[in-house]
């Protein structure tokens, strides 16, 4: 156990340093392009818009294409308003994916290590050109829906937010500058992951 102590301490210092670089005051807005794969769909679903960090435990997602939808996440609830439909409100306990997005994104931009480690087992991988933050849900129910969340970036900017779900479902969200480049054709996860890793 004594042999493991320096390694564990080093990992904690790496996480603290990374969160310190990522922290920024609210509100903060960043563009996104999200690609979702599902066993029910022949082709991936692509949506785009902006993410708005409103402070601890508060996030808004505004989708502008291919439809218009506003999702406000706060106080353990989500409120969804899609163009042409009645507003919906539900507990985040019913939507582990949204809960993971809220907790992960808010904790990163808020520099809140305690909130991050309360919900996830956290591992940091540092590379010469960037970093990867691996988040595994602690709650068994969440793990059944979300296998793992991987956040990749460089410097003080997250580039990609990838979620591995159950039954072959998965999503990859490109953030900031990574969201501004055209998507590859055809859309393949391996190509998007290379973009995340390379920072291109």
Q: Where are the domains of the chain?
A: 18-198
Q: How far is CA 40 from the centre of its chain?
A: 22
Q: Say if residues 48 and 61 touch (Cβ distance below 8 Å).
A: no
Which pLDDT belongs to residue 164? Answer: 86
Instruction: For residues 176 and 179, give the distance between their C-alpha atoms in angstroms, rounded to a whole number.
Output: 5
Identify the weakest region by mean pLDDT among 9-18, 59-68, 75-84, 135-144: 9-18
pLDDT surpasses 50 at 195? yes
Q: What is the pLDDT of residue 7?
A: 53
pLDDT digits (tens, 9 = 90+) for 65-75: 999 999 998 88
Predicted structure pTM score: 0.86
Q: How many CB atoms lie within 10 A of CB 5?
A: 9
Percent of the chain with pLDDT over 70: 93
- CATH code for 18-198? 2.50.20.10
pLDDT in tens, 153-172: 988 889 999 988 877 789 99
């Amino acid at each position: 156990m004594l042999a493991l102590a320096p390694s564990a301490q080093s990992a904690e210092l790496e996480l603290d340093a990374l969160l310190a670089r990522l922290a920024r005051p609210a509100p903060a807005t960043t563009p996104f392009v999200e690609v979702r794969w599902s066993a029910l769909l022949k082709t991936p679903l692509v949506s785009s818009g902006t993410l708005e960090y409103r402070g601890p435990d508060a996030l808004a997602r505004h989708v502008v294409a291919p439809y218009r939808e506003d999702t406000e996440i706060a106080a353990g609830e989500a409120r969804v308003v899609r163009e042409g439909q009645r507003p919906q409100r539900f507990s985040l306990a019913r939507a582990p994916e949204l809960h993971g997005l809220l907790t992960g994104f808010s904790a990163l931009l808020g520099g809140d290590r305690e909130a991050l480690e309360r919900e996830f087992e956290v591992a940091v991988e540092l590379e010469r050109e960037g970093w990867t933050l691996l988040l595994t849900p602690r709650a068994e129910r969440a793990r059944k829906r979300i296998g793992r969340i991987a956040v990749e970036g460089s410097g003080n900017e997250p580039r990609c937010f990838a979620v591995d779900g159950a039954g072959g479902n998965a999503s990859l969200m490109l953030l900031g500058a990574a969201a501004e480049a055209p998507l590859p054709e055809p859309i393949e996860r391996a190509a998007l992951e290379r973009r995340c890793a390379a920072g291109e």
